[in-house]
Amino acid sequence: MSEVLYKFTRSIPDWRPRIEPVKLDEANSDQLEALQITPSNTKVSDYVLTLAHDVESLKVRSPLFNAIMYDKGGMSRSEREIGAIGASIVNRCIYCASVHASRHAQLTKSDEVTDKIFADGENAKLSVRDAAILKFSVKLSDSPSRADKDDFNELKKVGLNEEEILDLILSTSLFGWANRLMHVLGDPVPPTVHGD
Amino acid sequence: MCSYLMGAMDEVKMKNVFETTVLSLSGLKISSETKKAIQNRSNIFIMSDAAEDAVLRPKEYGAFDHGMRAALAARIAFQNQEDGLAHKYLEGAGNFKKVANPSYKGETKDLKSILSFMDKVAKDTRNVVVEDITALKSAHVNDADIVRLAELNSFMAYQIRLITGLRLMKGAEDERGIV
């Protein structure tokens, strides 16, 4: 059995469930609907099959996730990813951090910001705007939250408008949710190397 | 449709948005300066309330009925110093009200394991390990109910942080003298 990864990594790990995922051939009609199984789409990740144990939650969470991370307007997609990464650093969700660092790098065409975050966490030396975003997301993610009016005012000071701040609050909060599923219900393990 | 009627429908829609759990507890008002930002994301606030229904009051509730879920939600809200949210959920906790008290650790071995798990996921997520899941299984919690507990805890993390963030927006408005 592969060893569990404990350090942040740029290589997106595999995710190994800690409980038995729903078996696709035993899924009921509600589960199949939530999994969006069609004759041409029968490939479902172990993560989604694990969440299918609670199909009512799965059905509402997926569209909510997509709206918060991808809806148009407001904060840029790459900055929403910093909110996700900030939460994932606090909750030590290696898998989420890796996936969303990768998305940030794709969107900005640079690894620089996320390399610094992986190396130095909350104290990473970033642009003043990225630093304020990261700091806010880290402090909001703590339990209880440490984000205060000074952190909020810093966001305004570095130029974020109300729409962008709301999107940051949403993406950070969403990863309070996502991290607690991904990190609690499974382990990140080295990616499988497929031969030719 | 005439523009007057469309405007009236928009007003009703926005009123519904400001009555969602997170916005009502944030203190933000429909007349607030942040209205445009909230209007742009009104679908998200409506979906967040739908998620609350799915997680707190599902049709298929497994081993944890609506009262127990409300009590666990209130417990997590208290732990995060969101007392307003905690009291909202406490109203639905029925016979499980004592579970909402963070200092209550449970009377049976199984309940102790469940509460210990929920507390760790809520407050110390980063240190949750496979042994915590094993302990739940030993407490006779099946796989589906483990996912249900994780979803409840995770949703509460989202809802609490959203309220906290929105309240900071409200605080900034107050400082600028916007009513």
pLDDT digits (tens, 9 = 90+) for B21-48: 999 999 998 888 788 999 999 999 999 9
Please identify among residues 71-90 of chain A the ones whose CB lies closer than 8 Å to any CB of chain B: 71, 73-74, 90
Q: In this complex, is the C-beta atom of A171 within 8 Å of any C-beta atom belonging to chain B?
A: no
The residues spanned by each domain of chain A are 1-188
CATH number for B106? 1.20.1290.10
Query: Model confidence over A124-151: pLDDT tens digits?
Result: 999 999 999 999 999 999 999 999 999 9
A112–chain B nearest CA distance, Å: 25
Query: Which residues are within 8 A (CB) of B132 and not within 5 positions of it... i.e. 6 or more apart?
Result: A184, B117, B120, B121
Domain encompassing residue B125 = 3-175
Query: Which residues are within 8 A (CB) of B28 and not within 5 positions of it... i.e. 6 or more apart?
Result: B18, B34, B38, B166, B169, B170, B173
Whether A173 sits inside 8 A of B158 (CB atoms) is yes
Whether A180 sits inside 8 A of B50 (CB atoms) is no
Classify the C-alpha dihedral B169-B172-B176-B178 as positive or negative: positive
Whether B153 sits inside 8 A of A145 (CB atoms) is no
Helix (H, G, I), strand (E, B) or coil at B153: helix
A176: closest CA among B125, B174, B137, B72? B125
Confidence of residue A58 (pLDDT cuts 50, 70, 90): very high
Q: Which CATH architecture has domain A1-188?
A: Up-down Bundle (1.20)
Total number of domains in chain B: 1
Query: Model confidence over B123-157: pLDDT tens digits?
Result: 999 999 999 999 999 999 999 999 999 999 999 99
- Give pLDDT, residue A196: 43
Whether A145 sits inside 8 A of B43 (CB atoms) is no
Whether A57 sits inside 8 A of B54 (CB atoms) is yes
For residue B7, the tally of other CB atoms under 10 A from its CB is 10
User: Cβ contacts (< 8 Å) between B165 and chain A: which residues?
Assistant: 140, 147, 166, 168-169, 172-173
**Residue B178: left if φ>0, alpha if ψ -120 to 50, beta else—which one?**
beta
Name which of A64, A156, A184 is nearest B121 (Cβ-Cβ).
A184
